[in-house]
């Protein structure tokens, strides 16, 4: 296909447009879903086995798959990264990382049953940390720090928006 960059009719942004058929190749933000999983005041963190930031600690999170709701994605990522089955307790926050074209949605969560977790395919370790034991200098991404602090602040002022997510 032969593409050029131009503003399509009725649009306001430059896009990559096929010169033959007019197909517009929209580039849109990626949506990340994850969870702060807590048990008795401790938080589950995973040490990354993959880039970016291999060897650093993060919350279980990742990009949504097509046709997946954020809640489903957060649960799937917890299982993929920490072999943990979880229940969600509500939305902590939605953050935009503009320079990366990402929208990140994180949920409060707890284990579905007795705590059970281990390193998944994308992690080398998974562990529960008390707040004062979190390895802050080894946190993979700024958004993890934001989410952890928002989690610690509690639910005051943050409504449970998860009930507004509807599969259509």
- pLDDT (0 to 100) of residue 165: 46
Separation between Cα atoms, residue 157 and residue 68, nearest integer Å: 27
Rounded distance between C-alpha atoms, residue 65 and residue 12, angstroms? 28
Angle at 152 between CA 49 and CA 43, to 5 degrees: 35
Q: What's the CA gap between 75 and 94, in Å, rounded?
A: 17
Question: What token pair was written down for 107?
Answer: 């949920």
What is the structure's pLDDT at 168? 38
Given a cut of 50, the residues of the chain with pLDDT beneath it are 156-159, 161-168
Question: How confident is the model over 100-122, as pLDDT tens digits?
Answer: 999 999 999 999 999 999 999 99
Q: Are the beta carbons of 86 and 151 closer than 8 angstroms?
A: no
Q: Which domains are assigned to the chain?
A: 30-156 (3.90.79.10)
């Amino acid at each position: 296909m032969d593409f050029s960059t131009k503003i399509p009719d009725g649009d306001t942004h430059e896009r990559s447009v096929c010169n033959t058929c007019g197909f517009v190749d929209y580039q849109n933000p990626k949506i990340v879903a994850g969870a702060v999983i807590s048990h008795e005041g401790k938080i589950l963190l995973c040490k990354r086995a993959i880039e970016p930031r291999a060897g650093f600690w993060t919350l279980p999170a990742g990009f949504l798959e097509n046709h997946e709701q954020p809640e489903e994605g957060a649960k799937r990522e917890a299982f993929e990264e920490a072999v943990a089955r979880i229940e969600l307790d509500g939305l902590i926050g939605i953050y935009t990382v503009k320079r990366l074209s990402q929208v990140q949605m994180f949920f409060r969560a707890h284990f579905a049953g007795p705590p059970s977790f281990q390193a998944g395919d994308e992690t080398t370790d998974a562990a529960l940390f008390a707040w004062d034991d979190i390895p802050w200098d080894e946190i993979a991404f700024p958004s993890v720090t934001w989410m952890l602090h928002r989690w610690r602040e509690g639910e005051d002022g943050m409504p449970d928006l998860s009930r507004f997510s509807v599969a259509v």
